[in-house]
Amino acid sequence: MRRGLATALAGWTVPLAAEGAALARSVLIARALGAEELGRTMVLALVLRLAEMLADAGVERFLMARSGEIGAALLAALHGAALLRGVVTAAMLLTLALPAAALLPGAAGGATHATLALVPLVRGFVHLGYRLEERERRLGPLVVVEGGAVLAMLAAVPLALAMAGDHRAIVAILLAQALAQVGLSHVLARTAWRAVFDRAVLAEVLGFGGPLILNAALMFLTFQADRLVVAGWYGWAEVALYGVTFQLAMLPAQITGRAAGSLLAPRLRGLAGTALGAAARAALAAHLAGALAFALAFSALAPVVIGLAWGQAFRPDAALALLLGLAAAGRILRTPLSQLAVAHGRTGDPARANLWRAAALVPACVSAALGLPLHAIATTAVLGEAAATAAALWLARDILFPRLRTLP
C-alpha cells in the first residue's frame, strides 16, 4: 500500500516539477527581459522542440513497452539508439539554423539557432538505467535525475540572463539542464554506460517508433504550431501573450501525459480482454472528470494568475482563457487513449487521431491571414482537439466498448 502511494506520488511529482519549473523560467525571463524577448525565447524553444520530436523514435517508450527482460546487450543497443537520436537531432538543428532565422524577421540569429544543437547532442549520452527502474515502477532514480536536472535549469536562469541579457540566455539554460540530466543518470547507474549500434535493434526501435515520429510531427503541429502562426502574422508581444496563456493551459496535459507514461503505461502493458477494457474505461473516466474541472478552473483563474505572475501586459481576457482551457481539456482526455494504443503496439493510432488536430491549422492560418483576433486561432484549436479526441475514442472502441461489436 505504502509503496503504491509512494510510486504514485513520485509519478506525479516529476512532471509537476518539470512543468512548474518551465513556467517559473518563463516568468523570470518575462520579468527580466519583457514581452518581446520572451516571444523570441519561446520561438527558440519551439525550434528545439520541433527537431527533438521529429527525431524521437521513442527509445524510452520502446523500453517501457517491450516485454521480457532488458539485458545488458539490449541496453547497450538502446544506448546506441539514443546516441544516434542525439546526433540526428543536432544535425537537424544545424540544418534549420539559417532557415529558422530567415523565416521570422527579428527572431534569433543563425548562430544562436545553431548552438541549440549542443542540447540534444549532450542528451544522447544519457544512461537509461533509471528508465529501467521506472519500467519496474521504482521511480526514485527518476525523481533524482529529472528533478535534479530541473533544479540545475532553474539555478542557471539568473546567471544566463546576467551574462546574455536577451533571448540567447535560453540556450545556456537548456544546456545546463541537459548536462545535469546526463550527469545524474550516470551517477545513479548500476552498470557502466556502453553503446553499440545494433542494426536489428535499431530496426526494431524504428519499427516501433516510426508511427510515433509521425505522431510527434503532428503533436508539434497541434501543441506548438499555433504559436508559430501567431509569430508569423502578429507581433512578438502577441506571441508572448498567446504563448504564456497556451503554455499555462497545456500544463496539466503535459503533466498528465508524463505521469501516465510512468504510472498508467506499465499497468496497461500486462492486461488483455475484459481486464484491459475495465482499466482503460476507469482511466478515461478519471481523465474526463479532471479535464472538465480544469477547463472551468482555468477560465476563471488564468487571467488573474497570469496578470500577477507575468505582469498585466501578458494577461488574457476571459474568452481567450476559456477557449484555450477547453482545448487543453481535449488533450487531457486523449492521454489514456494514447497510452492504451502505445502499450499494445498500436502506435499509429495517436497519429491518426492527431491528424484531425493538425488539420485545424488550416483555418488557423486563414484566420491569421485575415487579421482576425487571437480568439479565432484559439477557436480552431478547440475544434481540432474535439475532433482528435472523437477519432481517438473511435479507434479504441473495440477495447473500451467491446459490447458494441455484438450489436447489429
What is the DSSP track for 98-163? Answer: HHHHHHSTTS--HHHHHHTTHHHHHHTT--THHHHHHHTT--HHHHHHHHHHHHHHHHHHHHHHHH
Query: Which of 198, 220, 242 is where one domain is finished?
Result: 220
For residue 149, being part of any structural domain is answered with yes
302 and 171 together in one domain: no
Q: By residue range, what is the domain housing residue 260?
A: 224-401
Mind giving me the DSSP string for 191-229? Answer: S-------HHHHHHHHHHHHHHHHHHHHHHHHHTHHHHH
For residue 406, being part of any structural domain is answered with no
Gap between the Cα atoms of 64 and 58, Å rounded: 10
166 and 241 together in one domain: no
For residue 407, being part of any structural domain is answered with no
23 and 87 together in one domain: yes
Residues contacting residue 78 through CB under 8 Å, at least 6 positions apart: 59, 62, 63, 70, 128, 201, 205
Query: Which of 160, 187, 220 is where one domain is finished?
Result: 220
133 and 199 together in one domain: yes
170 and 95 together in one domain: yes
Task: Give the largest CA-CA distance in the chain.
Answer: 69
For residue 115, being part of any structural domain is answered with yes
For residue 296, being part of any structural domain is answered with yes
pTM value? 0.67
CA angle 26, 150, 117 (to 5 degrees): 80
For residue 408, being part of any structural domain is answered with no
195 and 234 together in one domain: no
pLDDT tens-digit profile of 79-89? 999 999 999 99
Neighbours of 200 (CB within 10 A): 8
For residue 167, being part of any structural domain is answered with yes
pLDDT (0 to 100) of residue 211: 72
pLDDT (0 to 100) of residue 219: 67
Gap between the Cα atoms of 216 and 397, Å rounded: 23
255 and 340 together in one domain: yes
How many domains does the chain divide into? 2
For residue 307, being part of any structural domain is answered with yes
pLDDT (0 to 100) of residue 386: 93
22 and 145 together in one domain: yes
Residues contacting residue 5 through CB under 8 Å, at least 6 positions apart: none
172 and 307 together in one domain: no
Q: Is 347 helix (H, G, I), strand (E, B) or coil?
A: coil
131 and 89 together in one domain: yes
22 and 59 together in one domain: yes
Query: Which of 161, 188, 220 is where one domain is finished?
Result: 220
Give the residue ranges of the chain where pLDDT is below 50: 406-408
120 and 182 together in one domain: yes
The answer to whether residues 353 and 389 touch, using CB atoms and an 8 Å cutoff, is yes
